[in-house]
Amino acid sequence: MYLIHFGLRELPFTLTPNTSFYLGLESHNEALAVLLTALKTGEGFIKVVGEVGTGKTLMCRKLLNEIPEHFVTAYIPNPYLKPDELRRAVAVELGAKQAQSISAELLTQRIQQRLLELHVRGHSVVLILDEAQALPSESLEALRLFTNLETETRKLLQVVLFAQPELDERLAEKAFRQLKQRITFSYKLRAMNAREVDYYIQHRLQVAGHKGPNLFSRSLATKVANVSDGIPRLVNIICHKMLMLGYGEGSYKLTNKHLNRAIQDTEGLQQKAPRKFYLISLLIATVLAGLYFSSNIFGMLV
Question: What percent of the chain shows pLDDT beyond 70?
Answer: 89
Q: What is the pLDDT of residue 272?
A: 57
Q: What is the pLDDT of residue 296?
A: 47
Q: What is the pLDDT of residue 99?
A: 83
Packed helices 272-301 and 256-264: angle between N→C axes, nearest 10 degrees: 120
Has residue 287 got a pLDDT over 70?
A: no
Has residue 254 got a pLDDT over 50?
A: yes
* φ, ψ dihedrals at 22, nearest 5°: -60, 130
User: Exposed, middle or buried by CB within 10 Å (0-12, 13-18, 19+), for 290?
Assistant: exposed
- Tell me which residue of 67, 55, 75 sits closest to 228, measured CA to CA: 55
Q: What is the pLDDT of residue 224?
A: 96
Has residue 205 got a pLDDT over 50?
A: yes
State the pTM of this model. Answer: 0.84
CA 171 remoteness from chain centre? 20
| Average pLDDT estimate for 197-224 | 95
**Single-letter residue type at 123:** H
Q: Are 72 and 120 in contact (CB under 8 A)?
A: no
| Average pLDDT estimate for 212-225 | 94
Question: What percent of the chain shows pLDDT beyond 90?
Answer: 69
Q: Helix count (H) and strand count (E) of the chain?
A: 13, 5
What region, left, alpha or beta, does residue 229 occupy, with left being phi > 0 and alpha being psi -120 to 50 degrees?
left
pLDDT tier at 270, thresholds 50, 70, 90: low
Coil, helix or strand at residue 18: coil
For each of the domains in the chain, give its residue range(s) and CATH number, in order of start: 3-18+192-266 (1.10.8.60), 26-188 (3.40.50.300)
Question: CA dist 10 to 13, 14, 226, Å?
Answer: 9, 9, 26
Task: List pLDDT tens digits, range 130-146.
Answer: 999 999 999 999 888 88
**Degrees to nearest 5, angle at CA 191 with 28 and 158:** 40
The arrangement of strands across the sheet holding 183-188 comes to 71-76, 124-129, 158-163, 45-49, 183-188
| Average pLDDT estimate for 56-82 | 92
> Alpha-carbon distance 131 to 92, whole Å?
19
pLDDT higher at 58 or 152: 58
Q: What is the pLDDT of residue 240?
A: 96
DSSP letter string, 191-239: ---HHHHHHHHHHHHHHTT--SS-SS-HHHHHHHHHHHTT-HHHHHHHH
Has residue 293 got a pLDDT over 70?
A: no
Task: List pLDDT tens digits, range 18-58.
Answer: 999 999 888 999 999 999 999 988 878 999 999 999 999 99
Beta bridge partners of 45: 159, 183
